[in-house]
Structure 1
Amino acid sequence: MVPDTIEREVVLRHPIERVWAALITAEGLSRWFGSVAEVDLRPGGRAYFRWEDLGQESVATITAVEPPRRFAFRWGIEGLPANHELQTLVEFTLEQVPDGTRLRLVESGFAQAADDVAWSAHEANSQGWDAELVDLKTYLDAAA
């Protein structure tokens, strides 16, 4: 059975407002999530990400902006054409905890694609999120 969801949770030793800014601003995103980011921060707005080292880019549609707790967007499934109707939903949820901020990431919707595409995209994004969340922590810690 094709896995439909990627889930990650990390506690960052920073205030929720700081983590929120890293998630929703072009400046913050371009420091840890790819090398270039543009964000029209509103539901229905467009977000653009580019990873120059990988020669990849992605366009997303923002679906939720609930400061400073929830940010979500839909984007294409790797292996399908960029304008394909099938997309996954990426949701970031933040919660203030005694040690800082708990960030929960859930990306869902892989199982709607054909099995070979879904497996490949799920694996690539799982590895990608692991690396990106390390980059987020490194960015926040360095800027503290």
Structure 2
Amino acid sequence: MTETRSIVIERDIAHPPEKIWRALTTPHLIEEWLMKNAFAPIAGHRFQLRADWGTVDCEVLAIEPGRALAYSWNAGDDATGLRSTVTWTLTPTPTGTRLRMEQSGFRKGQPHYYGGAMAGWPRMIDTIEAIAARPD
């Protein structure tokens, strides 16, 4: 079995789960914090994330509206590319939401993927928080 690493980020956000959920599942908002996409909040839905540098192939693996979302995140070729899963969990708190993001599946020998994700996810969550702060 291949040993893998994960990135986990937890943050308390002063907005209700429904505002965070909207940012995580609405295509035009996903484009603001991540990439262009054809996301649909339906288990089994396949979609791509698109940027100038290329694409990421994804599939919605699990969805519990307002609470949890997981999708595959497959970048690069099968032999050396990243085969991972991104899982979002939203837990209501007295002051808003505890947002937990985990990306699992980084293999040894993939420091560029791991380092990029370590640098990128906190910035993306900052943008999700800013989107949630907007009036509807």
* TM-score, L = length of structure 2: 0.85
Change (3 A) 1:40 1:95: same
| Greater helix share, structure number | 1
Q: Deviations over 1:1-36 (max 9, x none)?
A: x760000011111111111111112122122222x2
Q: Aligned-pair RMSD on alpha carbons?
A: 2.3
Where structure 2 has 5 or more consecutive residues not aligned to the other structure, the ranges are none
Residues 27-38 of structure 1: pairs in structure 2 closer than 5 A = 27-34=28-35, 36-38=36-38
Identity of aligned residues (%): 25
Amino acid at match of 1:30: E
2:25–2:40: 8 Å Cα contact kept in structure 1?
no
Q: Tell me how far apart the structure 2 counterparts of residues 50 and 12 of structure 1 sit (CA, whole Å).
A: 27
1:109 match: secondary structure: strand
* TM-score, L = length of structure 1: 0.81
Amino acid at match of 1:51: A
Residues 1-144 of structure 1: pairs in structure 2 closer than 5 A = 4-34=5-35, 36-52=36-52, 55-77=53-75, 80-81=76-77, 87-111=83-107, 115-116=108-109, 118-143=110-135
Q: Tell me how far apart the structure 2 counterparts of residues 125 and 86 of structure 1 sit (CA, whole Å).
A: 11
1:4 match: secondary structure: strand
| Greater strand share, structure number | 2
Q: Which runs of 4+ in 1 moved over 6 A?
A: 82-85
Q: Tell me how far apart the structure 2 counterparts of residues 61 and 27 of structure 1 sit (CA, whole Å).
A: 18
Question: Once the 2 structures are TM-superposed, how far is the Cα of residue 143 of structure 1 from its aligned partner?
Answer: 4.0
Q: How many residues align?
A: 134
